[in-house]
Every structure is written in C-alpha cells, then in structure tokens.
A and B are shown apart, each in its own frame.
Chain A
Amino acid sequence: MNKKGVSDMILFFGFLFTASVMLVFIFGGVKLFYNNTYDFKSVESADLLVKVKECVSVKGDEIFAESFSINECGLNEEVLKKDHLIVISRDEKQFIFGVYDYQTRCLFEAEAENLPECAFGSQNGYEIITASSQDSRRIIR
C-alpha cells in the first residue's frame, strides 16, 4: 500500500467515526423523546393525602403512639418508606414516615426531576404533608 492508499484508509475511518457520532445523536434524540415518562408524582401525593386524611379522621391521636404503624391506615409500609413521605402534626406532636429529606425539598418552589411533589392538607386540626418522588422503573424480562 502506498501513501495514497493510506490516506484513503484514514478518510474511511474518519467517515466511519462521523457516521457513528451522527447515529448516536439521532438515536439518543429519538430515545429521549419517546422514552420520556409523564410526571405522576403530584397525582400520587394527592391520592396519598386523601388516604392519610381518612386514616387521621378514624385514628386521631393514636397516630402519635410509639407502637403505631402506617399499616394500620391500610397503607403498605415497604412501598412508602421509599420515594414517599407522610408528615402528620398537631400541636407539638408529629408523626413522620418515609424519606425525611423530602420535608426540606417540599419547600422548594422549583420543579425538577429529582424533586418530590408535595401535597398539603388538614383534617380535624391535624396538618398533613404527603410527598412522592416515585417514577416507573424499567425491568428486563
């Protein structure tokens, strides 16, 4: 192979590189567009607020007992301890379950993918905050 052959070969690999980069951008753009999930966090935190209100209206101050479990409200502890928060407070007493950090994040007015959506409400003098940051997960099967 003489020098002319070598330069042709280099050009070929240059083209291959350019084509690969273009493909990555095209594929990445399409994947970003179609793979986008829709934000369900605010809906979920609102539904959770309704459930917690129902529980508070039945259980009242029992919620602040040390032995109280969120299962007694008909809610699943294992699911709620990840990506969710429940705060119930009245006077000086408070019940908190879930991701404690969300209390602070609920105060941010900004919207971002990693910020939870919070719902605020009250029932019979109890102040309630619920938050959700759950998104769907892709599984391989």
Chain B
Amino acid sequence: MFDKRGGWPLIGNIIYLVFLFTIFSFGVIMVSSYKNGASLWEDFYAKEITRIINTAEPGTEVFLDVSPAVSIALKQNIDKDRIFDFDNVNNKVIVGLRPGSARSFEFFNDVEVTDWELELVSGNSESSRLRFSIKEARRDNE
C-alpha cells in the first residue's frame, strides 16, 4: 500500500476521489430535494385550507384546486389519500407532499371537517381538486 518513499499512491487517490464523489453527490441530492418547493407548498396549502375552514359556516361544501401540490406529491410517490388529512380531535389541517414529512396548522373555528376526498379531475395530477364539507363540531357530552 505504501512505497518506501511514503505517501498514498494509487489506493490513496482512489479513496480520496470516492470521498469527494460521495460528499458532493450527497450535497446535490439534498439540494435537488428542495428545489421542487414541496415544503413551501405544504405550508401554503395548510394555511389556506385552514383559512377556508376558519371563515366557513357549518353546512358549507368546499372545492379547492390543489393541482400544484398534488403534482409535486405524486412525483414523489405519495399516496393521493395521504396528501391531505384533517384531524378533528386537535383541529388540525395536515398537508404532506414529501415522504415521511408533513406540515400542520390548527383552525380555531369550532367545526368538523368531513367527507374529504382528493379528486383527480382529468385522471392525473394536471387538474386535481380537494373536496370537503364543514359540519358543526360534535361535543362528547351531547
């Protein structure tokens, strides 16, 4: 491995290049994972859906165009039924466009979100809409 004159001949250079390649590949992958803006869209839709819920009255049915978000999520192989979720116990809207991660935002209106469904109107992510209904919150003591 080392010749009498010392230093790292061929093996050393190979190790060096492998390290270099690994580190910069890691960096490129990390940067690429952010450039689709998934985090920003998650935040945007969580807040906008929350706003709709906060200003809606019970009995309202909502249809919301969510094409940009769904397009990003489907490219990352997220199941379409897991993109948007509503937690009525904790009053949260949850939007997840990336594997293993999502963003949540709480709504203060005392209502429940029911019957939510993501419809791929044209059969693919080009045109998709989220449908859900707003109902009065059930109380445990009723």
Residues of A within 8 A of B (CB): 1-6, 8-9, 12, 15-16, 19-20, 23, 26-27, 30-31, 33-38, 40, 43-44, 47-48, 50-51, 71, 74-76, 78-80, 84, 134, 136-141
B6 to chain A minimum Cβ distance, whole angstroms, is 4
Residue of A nearest to B105 (CB): A136
Contact in complex: B43, A2 (CB < 8 Å): no
12 contacts between A and B (CB under 8 A): A20-B23, A30-B35, A31-B34, A74-B110, A74-B111, A75-B108, A75-B109, A75-B110, A76-B108, A79-B108, A136-B103, A139-B101
Stretch at the interface among B46-54, B60-68, B69-77, B121-129: B46-54
Given A12-B8, A19-B20, list of 10 further CB < 8 A pairs?
Answer: A4-B7, A5-B2, A15-B16, A16-B23, A23-B23, A34-B37, A38-B44, A44-B54, A134-B106, A141-B101
Given contacts A35-B34, A136-B46, contact A19 B23 (CB under 8 A): yes
Name the prevailing secondary structure of the A interface residues.
Answer: helix
Contact of B47 among A6, A74, A136 (CB under 8 A): A136
A136 to chain B minimum Cβ distance, whole angstroms, is 4
Q: Which residues of A contact B26 (CB under 8 A)?
A: 23
Q: Tell me, yes or no, whether B107 is within 8 Å of chain A by CB.
A: yes
Contact in complex: B8, A137 (CB < 8 Å): no
Residue of B nearest to A23 (CB): B27
A-B contacts, CB under 8 A, total: 123
Contact in complex: A141, B107 (CB < 8 Å): no
Question: Roughly how many angstroms separate A51 CA and B107 CA in the complex, as a whole number?
Answer: 13
Question: Roughly how many angstroms separate A3 CA and B2 CA in the complex, as a whole number?
Answer: 12
A39 to chain B minimum Cβ distance, whole angstroms, is 10
Given contacts A23-B23, A38-B44, A136-B46, contact A5 B109 (CB under 8 A): no
Contact in complex: A136, B110 (CB < 8 Å): no
Contact in complex: A76, B110 (CB < 8 Å): yes
B77 to chain A minimum Cβ distance, whole angstroms, is 15
Question: Roughly how many angstroms separate A78 CA and B140 CA in the complex, as a whole number?
Answer: 15
- The 6 A-B pairs at the shortest CB distance, nearest first, are namely A5-B6, A2-B6, A4-B6, A34-B34, A37-B43, A136-B103
Question: Roughly how many angstroms separate A136 CA and B26 CA in the complex, as a whole number?
Answer: 28
Q: Which residues of B contact A33 (CB under 8 A)?
A: 34
Residue of A nearest to B34 (CB): A34
Q: Which residues of B contact A141 (CB under 8 A)?
A: 96, 100-102
